[in-house]
Amino acid sequence: MDKHQALQRDARRKMMLEEPVAKVIPILAIPMIIAMLIDSIYNITDTYFVSQLGTSATAAVGVNDSLMQLIRSVAMGFGIGASSYISRLLGAKEYEKASKVGSTALLSALIIIAGVAAIGYAFINPLVVLLGATPTAKPYSVQYASFILLSAPFTAGTVVLSQLLRSEGSTQYSMIGMVSGCVINISLDPLFINVLGLGIAGAAIATGISKMISFSILLVPFLRNKTLIELKFKLFTPKKYIYAEIVKMGIPTFLRSSMLALSTIVLNNYAGGFGDTALAAVSVANKCTRLIGAAIIGLGMGFQPLAGYCWGAKRYDRVRKAFWTCSGMGVAGAVVLGTVMALGAPKLIQIFASTDNTELVTLGAYIIIAQCITMPLHVWSMIANGLFQALGRPWGAGVLGLSRQLICLVPSVIVLSQLFGVYGLASAQAVSDVLTMCIAVPMVLLLMKKIKVLENNNNPAQNGLQPNSSFNR
């Protein structure tokens, strides 16, 4: 470790443990909010340009959202599993071990994703049907999915590198990588789709190239030793204890993220039963509301390294204070942004309608408004999930993650679709947010009570609770 890195670590430690949490959270969160918004804009951009090709093409992009999410799920499992562990290691001053965890997580993710993508490419036709493609949307779906699978390792690498940077609080680097890729994507979409006449395949190619560029940019700070942890082949350590820690938080993250893909597949299949217009409306509306969700996820990602760092340093008072401060910021932001989006919902949907498809606009606007009403509940549940992740509590994180996307959403989709038709389907996500909140509240209150015990005693050993012990179950 050189003098520059030592100074960086000292400054980072002082910020994490001494600065007011209301100041630290925005410092860490704003770059991540921007990065998450940029990530959402990737899909929004593709949808906007592809919508000019017709409703079936728009529906095809929505179908492939779940494919992209599955790829990201595996990467997020490695990335967040490693970042949760790394934050705690950095808080405990175990820097070399943190570098080994980061190097192992990145290389493992790249290898696994490449294998998964190869299998998906070999069975691409049945794959897009399984994802929910209608007969009219299938040709577009196959074209789009082909290039998404080819660029999958770079997509995964971008996710993991972003999470590793976040784990040490270097969120600015993460933001730069994401923003650069988005600018490239926005620039290439009209060129490939319209000028070169590649259609929906052009949108997928543009996305793939942008992911390659983001991956390269995110790798630069590690190669130039500008980070607190190092990424080197010689640090690749495929040991059981490292994978055990990554899996402990990675599996709940993977399950939560993959359940988003599964619930999207279920949603797409049910929406497809009502026609391409319903499928397109669900796709566009969900992408619009995810803009707010992405911003709040970014806020939560800024909170997590702070909570994990303080937990590793046994500053339990700051863990509680950071959570409630972040909760206040998140809910207030959700109320403001949700109100603005709900008021402009019809005009927002109209942007993505290729023709005067009033049914698409009406249904899409209804979905946006319903989800905006319950957005504060959704936001708080996400921040609560982040608390469990940051403290290395896999069971709590897993339950909260699965609640919104599987336990509550899938039954809501099935039951409400049967009872109320397409508008029941359109209400399912909002109903799921209410039910998830009911699960999250008692879980968080119990966890806060346990943290308060540690704070009062300031001696985890007396309670049988160590930062990496049975408290993490």
Token pair, residue 422, equals 């397409």
Q: b/e for 292-321, b at 16 or more Cβ within 10 A?
A: bbbbbbbbbbbbbbbbbbbbbbbbbbbbbb
Distances 121 to 116, 117, 125, 207, 384 between C-alpha atoms, Å: 9, 6, 9, 17, 37
Alpha carbon distance 278, 320 (integer Å): 43
Whole-number Å distance between alpha carbons of 372 and 352: 19
The tens digit of pLDDT for each residue in 94-145 reads 878 888 888 899 999 999 999 989 998 999 888 888 887 778 878 888 888 8
Which class for 409: exposed (0-12), middle (13-18), buried (19 or more C-beta within 10 A)? Answer: buried
What does the pLDDT look like over 393-434, one tens digit per residue?
878 877 887 787 778 888 888 899 889 888 998 898 899 999
Report which secondary-structure segment, H or E, holds 214: helix 200-223
pLDDT digits over 209-258, tens only? 988 998 999 888 888 877 778 888 888 888 888 888 888 777 777 876 77
- Mean pLDDT for 328-347 is 90
Q: What is the pLDDT of residue 434?
A: 92
What is the rounded average pLDDT of the residues 306-326?
86
- SS3 label, residue 344: coil
pLDDT interval class at 339 (50, 70, 90) = very high
Spacing of C-alpha 339 from chain mean position:
23
pLDDT tens digits along 443-464: 999 988 888 888 887 654 444 4
End-to-end CA distance of the chain: 34
